[in-house]
Amino acid sequence: MRLDDILFSQGFGTRRVCAGLVQHGHVEVADSENVFHLETDASSDWEPSLYPDGFNFKVDGRIWRYQSLAYVVLNKPAGIECSQKPSAWPSVYTLLPAPLRQRPCPGKVQGVQAVGRLDQDTTGMLLLSDDGKFLHRMTSPKHHMPKVYQVSLKHAVVGDMANAMLARLCAGVVLEDDPQPVKAQAAELLSPTHLQLTLTEGKFHQVKRMVASVGNRVEALHRSQIGGLKLPDDVLPGQWRWLTAQELQLLRG
């Protein structure tokens, strides 16, 4: 694979732009000893799979690792919309570097796409990828992918009231515009005002509407886990990183 083709596949611009990055000395590549060397020939052939630690390169001094497909975890802060065309708040995609937003993909949409959405005031774990099969598997209702939410309640609940609330959430509640009951896979009250809720569906404002249907209100909402993967401790609000092979396995089951 030509070096400029590698840069193009990783989202560094058009083929002409990528060739120019190489020819003008903006790109360094790592050899088998992970030592970086200036590369000035865009036609150089490289095979990422031949390198034991992956194909590492630098563009303008920043290290990148070749990824044939992108799998990213992001810790979404409040006040951010999960849309590429936000209506009132900044887009979550502005938290990502340009190459992730520009990776060439089949069809009209470029770059990584969010696996589902979180409301602008909801925080926590968001996955993004350019792997269509992965996106479909993670969002399809047929796969019943569990998602765990930490819910701060406005009104404290204890005793029989708490037990009744949890029982209703797990048995199923009817939302205003949906005749089919929706239910939690699991519900646990960690404190009088802290509810942990596990869902396998993703309806509009589902957590907030479910909590409202049992006579309470969501004050804050945080997604802490998807499938078998918890939000990594090393990903702070507003930060992202690549998913490891082990983390991907936890998601794929």
User: By the 8 A CB rule, do 71 and 101 touch?
Assistant: no
For the annotated catalytic residues, the residue numbers are 119
Considering Cα of 249, then 29, then 131, then 148, what sign does the dihedral take? Answer: positive
Considering Cα of 147, then 150, then 155, then 159, what sign does the dihedral take? Answer: positive
- Pairing between β-strand 218-226 and β-strand 123-129 as defined by DSSP bridges: parallel
- Rounded CA gap, 186 and 152, in Å? 16
- Rounded CA gap, 183 and 180, in Å? 10
Which tokens belong to 205? 């404002």
- Rounded CA gap, 50 and 54, in Å? 8
One-letter amino acid of 240: W
Residue appearing with tokens 């001094």: 61
Which tokens belong to 132? 């269509």
Helices marked H in the chain? 3-9, 15-23, 98-102, 132-139, 159-171, 206-213, 245-252
Task: Reduce the DSSP state of residue 107 to 3 states and report it.
Answer: coil
For residue 50, give the DSSP letter: G
User: By the 8 A CB rule, do 9 and 69 touch?
Assistant: no
